[in-house]
Structure 1
C-alpha cells in the first residue's frame, strides 16, 4: 500500500528501522510545538502499531500516522510547512485502506478538538464527552468501515451534516420537519451550507419541510442565507396527507453521503459518507414527494 501525490508520497514504515524518521516528525509537532512531554509521546503500543510515513520528493519525512492493535488511528502529525496540502488526508486514507485490507469493521480515534473537523470530513463521528489528554482537549470519534456509523447526539448530528454539505458536488436533499432547531441553526452547519452555496458549482439544495409556518415564525437562520442565495436554496412544503405522516428526516448529497433519522424530531440516526446506494435511494424517494409538494410562496414574501 502506498499513495503518490504530487510533492509527496505516503507509504508504510517499519517501526524499528523507521524510528528516526518518526521521531523527526512526531517530536517536532507534539513535543516542540504542542508541549507534550516526551515520555507521554512514545508509548508501549508503538512497536505493535502499523505506521505510515509521508515523505517529500526529496525523501524527507513530513508526516506520520499509526494504527494500534485496538483498531485506533493515532499520532497523526504533519510538519507545519506541509499543512493544508493534503498530506493528512492522504495518510488517513492510507490508514483506512490498511484497516479495510485487514478486515477491520470499525476504526476509532481520539482527536484533538481543533482537528475534529478534519476527521469528520472522512466520515468519523464524535461520541461521548470531551476529555483532556496531555494538556489538550480531545474528542472520541469512530467510523464504521462496512456500513453506516451511529449518530447519537446533537454534536454528532452537527458534525455529520457539515461533512455531507461540504462533500456535495451539486445536489443536496434535505427532508426536515421544521429545520430542526439545534441542527440547521448551528453556526457550523450554516457555514458549511454557505460554503456549499457559494462554491460556484451551479448546485441546488432542495429543502422539503413538513411545517413551513413554524420555520417562518421561528425566523430560522437558514432563511436569511437562502435570501442571499435564492437560486441555490429552494423550499417546498409537503402537501399530501400521506407525506405528512412520514416520520423520518434525512440529508443526502450527490457523492454518496447521507444522514438518516428514523424519527425526525430526534438527532439519533445513522450516517455514511460512502453509502452511495443508500444515498441514491433517499434521493430517489425524495424526488416524487418534491414534485407533488407546494412551493413555499410565503417565503418569497420575505424576498426568497
Structure 2
C-alpha cells in the first residue's frame, strides 16, 4: 500500500529521518492509521503486519515535531532479490508540499547505502504519476489490494532495466509517454505493430495529445506505407490531433540500414531496442544523459528525413 502526492512544490518546513521502529512505533502508526485505516478503510489487521519490526522506516515531522508522513523499506528476501517500498503515507494537510518526494528519496538512499540495486512497490493507481516521475516502471497487470486498485512497479538503482517481452514493452512505453512533459521521439521501423497499437499505449498517447500543453510527438519511420496498409490505429488518433503528431520517413541509405528502434521523452526517459523488429531491449525512466543522446541522434536524422506527404491525404 502506497499513498503519496505527485507534486514536489515544498512550501512548508519539515524534515525526514530514518527511525527505529520500536522507538517511533506510536508516531508511525498515528500517520498510517489515519491515512490507511480511517481515510482509505483498509482493515487494521492488514495495515499492521509482521514485517514492520524488520523493516527500515523513515518518518517525516513538521518542525514542531508532529509526525506527518511515513514510509518503510522491506529488506530483500535473499541476495539478489529486490527490496520493497511500502506504507508511504502523508497526512492530508501536508500533501502537495514535497513530503512524499522526500520520504521516497530517503528510502531509496537507504537502499543504495546497503547495495540493494532493485526496488519494487505496489502503487495505488491514483499515485502512478508520482512514482513514474521517480523512475519506477510498471510491471504486469493492475490488481486489487485491500479493496484499492494497485500497480506493481520496479526501479533499478544502478543502470537501465531489461525489457524482455511484449508485456513489459507496452508497460514501459505507456509509462514513458505519460511521463513526458512536451516532447516524444519515436524511431520506428513501421509503427511497431503489437506495441504502438496496444490499448494502453494508445490511451497514453491520447492523454498526451489532449493535455493542452503544446506537446509534440515526432515519429520517424523506415517504411511509411506499412502502417497505412495495416490501418494502424495510431494514424487515426493522429488524424484527430494533427498538431501533435508529426511523421517523417528516413531517406538516407545509411539511415535505412539502421537496425534499432527507440523512444525518448523530454523527462529523461528512454526505451532502446537493438533490433527494431523485436520487443527486447533496455529502458530507464530517469536517465537524462542517455535520453539526451538518443534525442540528439533522432534530431540529426529528422532533419534529413522526408515529410510523409502521402499521410496528408489522411489529414495529417
- TM-score, normalised relative to structure 2: 0.80
CA contact 2:248–2:305 (8 Å) conserved in 1 = yes
1:1-304 superposed matches below 5 A: 5-7=10-12, 9-14=14-19, 15-55=21-61, 59-70=65-76, 71-80=83-92, 86-112=98-124, 115-116=127-128, 118-127=130-139, 139-199=151-211, 201-304=213-316
For structure 2, the 5+ residue unaligned runs are 1-7, 77-82
CA separation in 1, counterparts of 2:305 and 2:162? Answer: 31
Residues 138-161 of structure 1: per-residue CA shift (max 9 Å, x gap): 554321111101223334323322
Shift of 1:249: 1.4
Q: Secondary structure at the match of 1:141?
A: strand
Shift of 1:102: 4.0
Residues 177-233 of structure 1: per-residue CA shift (max 9 Å, x gap): 222233323444334334444555544322001222222233333323333433332
Shift of 1:35: 4.7
Q: Secondary structure at the match of 1:301?
A: helix
Task: Select between 82-91 and 268-277 the one with higher mean Cα deviation.
Answer: 82-91
CA separation in 1, counterparts of 2:257 and 2:14? Answer: 52
Equivalenced residues, count: 302
Shift of 1:169: 3.6
Shift of 1:51: 1.7
The structure showing larger relative contact order (alpha-carbon pairs under 8 Å, at least 6 residues apart) is 2
Shift of 1:235: 0.2
Residues 203 and 138 (structure 1 numbering): CA distance in 2 closer, same or farther, change over 3 Å? closer
For structure 1, the 5+ residue unaligned runs are none
